[in-house]
């Protein structure tokens, strides 16, 4: 249906008549923003109601992409930047950190319902360290960022960022939802910059339950959480546009390259990570406002142990229905202490962190493809809250859906008919391309589905 809305002069962002697209046309994209067909974007990328807000699109330069009465358009892609990626991990860390500390003002929480209007696919398929122009953080909107070190044990059998030795990264800590819910919803984002290749990222939560505790560090966290219920289950359904398993994100990409850029062919990674908060960062259970929460995190001295990171080597059977509950012995099968996450900077709120720093999610199906036996060790359908759970069952990416041939342009326009705006055309049957009259557009060349006009 969506191509027809374009051809009928409707804005794909709203389904309304074409003039409603004006604000998008006036919003500049990121420099070099491109599309699945190699077009150059002339507007910001965002999603549309016409495909249930599944894939981002933009207006394009010239006649590149798909034809529409409002202008040519195409679906956006977010590949990594080869020039940026070619830098060392240290160079990229320095550049990002300068942006993090440039402005310590923190943002605010917009209405979480706004996430419905965004493409969740972008959360998985943006290979850069920045959010696209115009995109908002409707969850995890505010956070404090710290640099940290992680000295992984010499006994680690894993590869890439999980191999033995010293690692450095960024951690962003904040409540997934605003503080009006009687407590916090603690969430973490991790970014490990790597030399010559894109960063290795993952996110972690205790659960999606609102108002868990006022102590941000009270509970264990993981990249796997329990299937949500109630309102948050509706939110999780949005993530099903990109993955069968909204409560879990993958780790295998982190194991494919070391921090120095060394690639690994025989990739080895844990089933999940289990993060245990340290005694040094426990906070009072008293209600807090954002200023106070950010201030408490800013007060941590350099050298503070935030969490101990464990690798869980395999699924823990039925315990995976509540992957962060019950402590290490119950929730983490074949546990291995990888090391402590220790700050190497002060933690700081950040305007850049809240508005632009991007932590990519990885589809857990990519882990299942490499470790298919895991699906025999726990009820993945139940743990994911999904009717399906298979290595090849993830929804197609936007690039895969829309990377086909460019839609054919309309036939050459016939001579313009008379433009007497007082003319009331007679009813006639029309199907295909032809001239139509409407009070707001006047005479216009458009596609007719077949009917009386």
CB atoms within 10 A of CB 403: 14
Q: Compute CA 249 distance to the chain's CA centroid, rounded to the nearest angstrom.
A: 11
| Model confidence at 9: pLDDT above 70 | no
| Model confidence at 449: pLDDT above 50 | no
pLDDT of residue 129: 98
pLDDT of residue 3: 36
Give the tens place of pLDDT for each residue, 246-289: 999 999 999 999 999 999 999 999 999 999 999 999 999 999 99
CB of 233 closer than 8 Å to CB of 226: no
Q: Of all residues in the chain, what percent carry a pLDDT higher than 70?
A: 83
pLDDT of residue 440: 45
| Model confidence at 56: pLDDT above 70 | yes
Q: What is the dihedral sign for C-alpha 72, 51, 247, 253? A: negative
pLDDT of residue 24: 63
| Model confidence at 370: pLDDT above 90 | yes
- The string of DSSP codes covering 236-260 is HHHHTTT-S-TTBB--GGGGTB-TT
Contacts 24+ apart (CB under 8 A), 232-239: 232/208, 233/385, 235/112, 235/115, 235/139, 235/208, 236/208, 236/385, 238/115, 238/116, 238/120, 239/120, 239/123
The residues that bridge with 188 in the sheet, in sequence order, are: 173, 204
Question: How sure is the predictor about 20, in pLDDT bands with cuts at 50, 70 and 90?
Answer: very low
Closest C-alpha among 249, 223, 247, 225 to residue 236: 247
CB of 407 closer than 8 Å to CB of 66: yes
Question: How sure is the predictor about 185, in pLDDT bands with cuts at 50, 70 and 90?
Answer: very high
The residues that bridge with 150 in the sheet, in sequence order, are: 167, 341
Q: What is the mean pLDDT of residues 292-304?
A: 98
Range of lowest pLDDT (206-215, 294-303, 335-344, 426-435): 426-435
pLDDT of residue 147: 98
| Model confidence at 138: pLDDT above 80 | yes
pLDDT of residue 69: 83
Q: Of all residues in the chain, what percent carry a pLDDT higher than 90?
A: 79
The residues that bridge with 305 in the sheet, in sequence order, are: 342
Structure tokens at 72: 């040519």
pLDDT of residue 29: 96
How confident is the prediction for the chain on average, in pLDDT? 87
Structure tokens at 452: 């009386």
Question: How sure is the predictor about 23, in pLDDT bands with cuts at 50, 70 and 90?
Answer: low
Say if pTM beats, i.e. exceeds, 0.95. no
């Amino acid at each position: 249906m969506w191509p027809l809305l374009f051809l009928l002069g409707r804005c794909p962002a709203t389904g309304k008549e074409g003039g409603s697209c004006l604000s998008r046309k006036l919003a500049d994209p990121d420099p070099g923003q491109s599309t699945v067909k190699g077009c150059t974007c002339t507007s910001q990328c965002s999603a549309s109601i016409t495909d249930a807000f599944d894939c981002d699109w933009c207006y394009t330069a010239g006649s590149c992409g798909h034809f529409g009465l409002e202008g040519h358009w195409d679906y956006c892609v977010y590949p990594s930047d080869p020039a940026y990626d070619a830098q060392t991990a240290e160079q990229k860390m320095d550049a990002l950190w300068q942006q993090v500390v440039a402005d310590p003002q923190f943002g605010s929480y917009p209405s979480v319902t706004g996430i419905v209007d965004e493409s969740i696919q972008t959360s998985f398929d943006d290979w850069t360290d920045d959010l696209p122009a115009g995109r908002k953080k409707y969850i995890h909107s505010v956070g404090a960022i710290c640099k940290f070190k992680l000295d992984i044990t010499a006994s680690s059998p894993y590869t890439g960022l999980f191999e033995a030795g010293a690692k450095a990264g960024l951690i962003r800590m904040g409540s997934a939802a605003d503080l009006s819910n009687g407590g916090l919803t603690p969430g973490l984002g991790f970014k490990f910059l790597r030399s010559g290749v894109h960063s290795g990222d993952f996110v972690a939560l205790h659960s999606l339950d609102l108002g868990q505790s006022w102590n941000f560090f009270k509970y264990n966290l993981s990249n796997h959480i329990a299937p949500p219920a109630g309102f948050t289950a509706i939110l999780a359904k949005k993530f099903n546009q990109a993955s069968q398993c909204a409560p879990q994100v993958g780790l295998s990409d982190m194991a494919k390259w070391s921090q120095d850029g060394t690639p690994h062919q025989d990739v080895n990674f844990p089933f999940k990570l289990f993060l245990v908060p340290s005694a040094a960062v426990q906070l009072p259970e008293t209600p807090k406002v954002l200023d106070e929460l950010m201030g408490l995190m800013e007060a941590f001295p350099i050298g503070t142990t935030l969490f101990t990171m464990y690798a869980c080597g395999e699924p823990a059977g039925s315990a995976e229905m509540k992957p962060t509950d019950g402590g290490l012995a119950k929730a983490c099968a074949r546990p291995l202490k990888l090391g402590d996450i220790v700050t190497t900077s002060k933690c700081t709120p950040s305007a850049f962190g809240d508005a632009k720093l991007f932590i990519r999610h990885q589809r857990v199906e990519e882990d299942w493809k490499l470790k298919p036996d895991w699906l025999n060790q726990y009820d993945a359908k139940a743990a994911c809250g999904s009717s399906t759970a298979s290595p090849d069952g993830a929804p197609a990416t936007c690039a895969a859906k829309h990377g086909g041939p460019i839609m054919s342009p309309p036939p050459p326009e016939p001579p313009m008919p008379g433009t007497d705006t007082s003319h009331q055309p007679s009813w006639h049957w029309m199907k295909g391309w032809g001239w139509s009259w409407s009070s707001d557009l006047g005479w216009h060349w458009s596609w007719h589905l077949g009917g009386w006009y």
